[in-house]
Structure 1
């Protein structure tokens, strides 16, 4: 498992572009696993803080119950509609891994809430290439590092 500083060290430009996609809006989408193993998606906020990716969850929320039972998650950046020129679209970012519970912040912690850092397995950035006849998929995986692929 990796933390954010590992990705920044290995692929700094990629990490900065991923971080900017997540910063494009407040609400991200998180996928967790229900008790029966089926997926659940929920809105969430996420932060890049102290070399980690962190996330908080309201006390007694279903997603909090999910991750305390099974810590595997995936998070998707806010999705912005592409402009008229698709090569100007900033794209989407995703990350997947496992949450690890951390102490609540010193101030403003909600009673019963859960606070987590994400141990990262995978980060993916997808956008339209130039010319706009292909998709670019950049990824970082634990043990493999950064890769760039294209797809028509």
Structure 2
């Protein structure tokens, strides 16, 4: 698992593009696992702060219960529609890993509802005129890989 600061240090241009896509919209899509193992998709706000990706949620929400039970998580940036010129599409980004609840210094020992994401994978999708769909994936311990799929 890696924190955001490590990805920024390892691949600064890739990290800047991913961050730009995540910050283009206030809301992101988060996937968690329900008690029965079924997926749950929720809308969440996530921020890049202090070298981490941090999400704050209502303490009694189902998504918080999911993360406390099973910290595996995936986040997806919102994505604009592909324009008439597909190569002009801004792209989209995703990250997956584990959500770690961050203690609230004002209330020691109490759950905070604030989680940082420790990532094992970050993905950036874009469209190139010459290559079609291009998927770039950064994985902990493997670094960045670029695959044209078009």
> Taking structure 1 as the reference length, what is the TM-score of the superposition?
0.92
Structure 1 alignment gaps of length 5 or more: none
Match of 2:120 in 1: 121
Structure 2 alignment gaps of length 5 or more: none
Match of 1:64 in 2: 64
Match of 1:136 in 2: 134
**1:84-139 CA distance string (max 9 Å, x none):** 11101011100000011112386xxxx975001111010000011123x5100001
CA distance in 1, matches of 2:44, 2:137: 22
CA distance in 2, matches of 1:112, 1:144: 34
CA distance in 2, matches of 1:113, 1:63: 13
Cα 1:81–1:147, aligned 2, differ >3 Å: closer, same or farther? Answer: same
Aligned residues: CA RMSD: 1.6
Matched-pair contact (CA < 8 Å) for 2:104–2:111: no
Cα 1:101–1:82, aligned 2, differ >3 Å: closer, same or farther? Answer: same
> Which contiguous aligned blocks of 4+ residues in structure 1 show a shift greater than 6 angstroms?
none
| Pairs within 5 Å for 1:22-41 | 22-41=22-41
**1:68-92 CA distance string (max 9 Å, x none):** 0000000000111122111010111
Report SS of the residue matched to 2:13.
helix
